[in-house]
């Protein structure tokens, strides 16, 4: 065994560890809980807890925690030690089944959107046995869901698990119709590609904007940016390579399948992609990955920025959510097969996704909505805010011919009929990638590219799973009652293509012409978080989530409030940080520079009365005038913030106000400050510059 295979998963209470450490009968009962969701009785839980504890203690653990994902977006944990006192004043290490299954963090400060009345502010955490427990530092972490006592989800895991059940239910119905009796469960799979920036910690520490908001609020472009594309896939610098090595090591120990790493397009930007796995595990793993990236970067004197747009003028960071549907027999349902039977089934699942993306464009957009991601989507870079789907020319042509009832390709002599004839072999095109598409078919999976680097992938997958479950439900309802299955199937596929083909777009998504074309097609273009959030409450969306038991209306409303509230708070922190930087650092520095120039002019004139002072005088004029403007813009920003205080408005109006007036005032202020920066004596700029930040890591 080599080093990597030895350490892989060594900190995970995995299936093989369970098999080895649990009595046969306990293992079997636990498997029933994991695979079939059967209730785990107390006696069994006690045995599992005890085995887990012994294993964890052998690995050096002293504490345990219910690890959960509240609506703050980060993971939460509260540590309890295993110790329990004995009668004779010693301690023993204890961990019961009850402690494993349920926890009660006093978690009243997590956002709940009014779901928990204050008299019952506590929520409880419940073990998710489908995601393995693991050790982090000296703590045994137990992945859990976080709910209120009324059963409402207060976290990002509960609805994700519900959505996986929803797609499982409906996909199973469809597979049975195709005569499949072997499959017993269907799960979605995800491989999230994670982008991030690394900057010198020493420089980060000198920038209040990075410290408080994760992004630069001021800063002129450096003379060089990403225009040469010379960072993309470039040689990885030694320090960064050492960071990646450390990161891999820890991720592997936690059973995370970290696979590829490379430099991204922007300077100082990198990417990590794991091998895909079941969606809820991929979600847990991605949260862990983000957490470890930040911690390990510090060890190397670096800071990992996960903000969606840390720097103006160079690419921001996103996350590509590669998504597919798999059976427990190992078949990928989005893989076009070799037989007519497989082809027809593939086409139906493909249709289910096409229909889902078209019907629930709004929800997909909402699932990636955040203050940070608004700087990417619909701004001037990767993916536009319009949701559309790339299928590639070949597959699009096939769908086109099916819709028209025409034969496809020269090899197909007979009339093409789904379920009867062979789908023409089309190359699984992995090179013809349309990087501008927000939702692309890449051979045997879809890649949803609108996620922000900081997002939990849970939101996007809740929507994907549920929306596709809904298409499948409609298909199953229809096909279960059809007389001639093949004919009904053919009709269904034709009709779906006809009704939903507007969502398919293989062209350049960055093109202005696409914005107009999308509008003609009736597609939504929801540019900002306050623009899209109202759609969350639309009747069709409430119905979708209720019908598939993913969110109740109350839960949707709570999330709607939390997202908007969070959005306004982030913009407020940014605005206040800007004011602070402008008043306490930038304006004084700029003014000091003109003061210094004035002294020089006076000194020069005294020493050599006819000396040329044109540079100094022109600079004094120009900078003084800009500083005056900047001063007034600072006042204006403060005024718009103060105006908001006495206003009584709901969370949507408040978010709109921030996005409108506050954001505009921030933008104006930045433009002026950045202009002054470029005329300034380097020594006078009080912060590390873009050049320092983007090219500083050696």
As a whole number of angstroms, the distance between CA 209 and CA 81 comes to: 37
Name residues whose C-beta falls within 8 Å of residue 588's C-beta, 6 or more positions apart in sequence: none
Least distance (Å) between residue 389 CB and ligand ADP: 16
CB of 257 to ligand ADP, least distance (A): 8
At closest approach, how far in Å is the CB of 380 from ligand ADP?
A: 24
Give strand pairing partners of 270: 196, 263
Residue nearest to ligand ADP as judged by C-beta position: 191
Task: Work out how close the CB of 170 gets to ligand ADP at its nearest, in angstroms, rounded to a whole number.
Answer: 18
- Beta carbon of residue 616, minimum distance to ligand ADP (angstroms, whole number): 55
The DSSP bridge pattern shows strands 277-278 and 186-200 to be antiparallel
Bridge partner list, 274:
258
Which segments of 118-276 does DSSP mark as H helices, in order? 158-177, 201-204, 208-213, 238-253
Distance of closest approach, residue 259 Cβ to ligand ADP, in angstroms: 7
Q: Mutual orientation of helices 485-500 and 458-480 as an angle, nearest 10°?
A: 140
**Cα(first)–Cα(last) distance of the chain, in Å?**
35
Longest dimension (CA), the chain: 104
Q: Compare residues 226 and 279 and give the one whose CB is closer to ligand ADP.
A: 279
Torsion sign over Cα 415, 418, 424, 427: positive
Phi-psi region of 156 (alpha: psi -120 to 50; beta: other; left: phi over 0): alpha
Write down the least CB distance from residue 282 to ligand ADP, Å. 8
Q: In whole angstroms, what is the distance from residue 41 CA to residue 606 CA?
A: 93
Residues 6+ apart with CB under 8 A from 523: 361, 386, 387, 388, 502, 503
Give whichever of 139 and 326 is closer to ligand ADP, judged by the CB atom.
326
Q: Which CB, 335 or 638, lies closer to ligand ADP?
A: 335
CB of 258 to ligand ADP, least distance (A): 10
CB of 449 to ligand ADP, least distance (A): 10
Q: Where are the alpha helices (DSSP H) in 360-392?
A: 361-366
Residue 11: φ, ψ to 5°: -105, 25
Give the CA distances from residue 659 to residues 258, 493, 564, 568, in Å, rounded to whole numbers and listed in that order: 37, 42, 11, 8
Binding site for ligand ADP (CB under 6 A): 189-191, 193, 273-276, 322-324, 332, 430, 442, 444-445
- Whose Cβ is closer to ligand ADP: residue 191's or residue 310's? 191
- Find the shortest distance in angstroms from Cβ 653 to ligand ADP: 40
Inter-residue contact 270 to 310 (CB < 8 Å): no
* Cα separation, 480 vs 467, whole angstroms: 20
Between 257 and 570, CB nearer to ligand ADP? 257
The residue (of 165 and 429) whose beta carbon lies closer to ligand ADP is 429
Instruction: Return the structure tokens found at 562.
Output: 């939390």
Of 65 and 194, which CB lies nearer to ligand ADP in the complex structure? 194
Of residues 50 and 279, the one with the C-beta less far from ligand ADP: 279
Q: What is the 3-state secondary structure (H, E, C) of 193-224?
A: EEEEEEEEHHHHCCCHHHHHHCCCCCCCCCCC
48 versus 273: smaller Cβ distance to ligand ADP: 273
Spatial distance between the Cα atoms of 148 and 153, rounded to a whole number of angstroms: 7
Q: Least distance in Å: CB of 439 to ligand ADP?
A: 14
57/265 with CB nearer ligand ADP: 265
Contact status, residue 687 vs residue 206, Cβ threshold 8 Å: yes
**Shortest spacing between CB 523 and ligand ADP, in angstroms:** 25
Query: Which residue, 9 or 214, has its beta carbon nearer to ligand ADP?
Result: 9
Q: How far apart, in whole angstroms, are the C-alpha atoms of residue 461 and residue 356?
A: 12
Residue closer to ligand ADP, measured from CB, 435 or 583: 435
């Amino acid at each position: 065994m080599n080093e990597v295979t030895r350490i892989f998963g060594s900190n995970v209470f995995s299936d093989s560890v369970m098999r080895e450490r649990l009595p046969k009968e306990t293992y079997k009962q636990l498997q029933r809980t994991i695979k079939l969701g059967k209730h785990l009785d107390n006696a069994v839980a006690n045995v599992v807890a005890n085995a887990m504890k012994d294993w964890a203690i052998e690995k050096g653990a002293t504490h345990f925690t219910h690890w959960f994902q509240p609506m703050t977006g980060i993971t939460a944990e509260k540590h309890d030690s295993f110790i329990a006192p004995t009668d004779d004043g010693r301690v023993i290490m204890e961990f019961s089944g009850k402690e494993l299954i349920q926890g009660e963090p006093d978690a009243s400060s997590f956002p709940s959107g009014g779901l928990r009345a204050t008299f019952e502010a506590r929520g409880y955490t419940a073990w998710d046995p489908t995601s393995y427990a693991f050790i982090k530092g000296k703590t045994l972490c137990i992945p859990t869901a976080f709910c209120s006592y009324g059963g409402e989800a207060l976290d990002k895991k509960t609805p994700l698990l519900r959505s996986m059940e929803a797609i499982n239910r409906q996909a199973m119905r469809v597979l049975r119709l195709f005569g499949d009796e072997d499959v017993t469960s269907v799960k979605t799979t995800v491989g999230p590609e994670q982008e991030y920036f690394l900057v010198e910690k020493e420089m980060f520490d000198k920038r209040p904007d990075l410290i408080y908001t994760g992004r630069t609020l001021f800063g002129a472009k450096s003379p060089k940016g990403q225009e040469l594309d010379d960072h993309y896939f470039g040689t990885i610098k030694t320090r960064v390579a050492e960071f990646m090595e450390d990161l891999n090591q820890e991720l592997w120990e936690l059973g995370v399948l970290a696979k590829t790493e490379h430099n991204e397009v922007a300077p100082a930007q990198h990417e990590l992609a794991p091998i895909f796995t079941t969606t809820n595990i991929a979600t847990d793993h991605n949260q862990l990955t983000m957490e470890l990236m930040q911690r390990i970067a510090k060890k190397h004197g670096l800071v990992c920025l996960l903000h969606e747009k840390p720097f103006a003028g160079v690419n921001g960071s996103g996350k590509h959510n590669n998504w597919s549907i798999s059976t427990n027999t190992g078949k990928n349902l989005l893989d076009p097969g070799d037989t007519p039977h497989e082809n027809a089934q593939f086409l139906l699942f493909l249709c289910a996704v096409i229909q889902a993306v078209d019907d629930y464009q709004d929800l997909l957009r909402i699932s990636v909505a955040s203050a940070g991601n608004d700087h990417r989507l619909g701004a001037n870079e990767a993916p536009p805010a319009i949701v559309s789907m790339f299928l590639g020319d070949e597959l699009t042509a096939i769908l086109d011919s099916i819709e028209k009832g025409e034969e496809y390709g020269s090899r197909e002599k007979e009339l093409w009929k789904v379920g009867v004839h062979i789908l023409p072999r089309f190359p699984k095109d992995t090179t013809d990638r349309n990087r501008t598409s927000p939702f692309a078919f890449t051979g045997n999976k879809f890649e949803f590219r609108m996620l922000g680097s900081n997002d939990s992938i849970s939101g996007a997958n809740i929507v994907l799973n549920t929306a596709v479950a809904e298409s499948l439900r409609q298909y199953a309802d229809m096909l279960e009652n059809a007389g001639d299955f093949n004919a009904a199937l053919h009709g269904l596929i034709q009709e779906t293509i006809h009704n939903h083909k507007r969502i398919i777009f293989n062209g350049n998504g960055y093109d202005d012409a696409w914005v107009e074309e999308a509008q003609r097609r009736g597609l939504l273009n929801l540019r900002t978080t306050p623009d899209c959030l109202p759609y969350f409450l639309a009747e069709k969306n409430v119905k979708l989530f209720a019908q598939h038991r993913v969110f109740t209306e109350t839960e949707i409303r709570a999330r709607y409030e939390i997202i908007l509230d969070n959005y306004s708070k982030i913009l407020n922190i940014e605005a206040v940080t800007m004011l602070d930087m402008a008043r306490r650092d930038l304006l004084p520095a700029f003014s000091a520079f003109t003061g210094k120039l004035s002294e020089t002019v006076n000194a020069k004139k005294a020493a050599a009365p006819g000396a040329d002072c044109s540079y100094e005088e022109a600079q004094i004029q120009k900078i003084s005038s800009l500083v005056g403007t900047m001063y007034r813009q600072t006042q204006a920003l403060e005024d718009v913030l103060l105006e908001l205080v006495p206003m009584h408005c709901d969370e949507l109006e408040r978010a709109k106000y921030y996005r409108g007036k506050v954001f505009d005032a921030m933008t104006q202020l930045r433009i002026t400050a950045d202009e002054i920066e470029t005329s300034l004596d380097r020594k006078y700029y009080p912060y590390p510059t873009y050049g320092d930040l983007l090219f500083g890591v050696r």
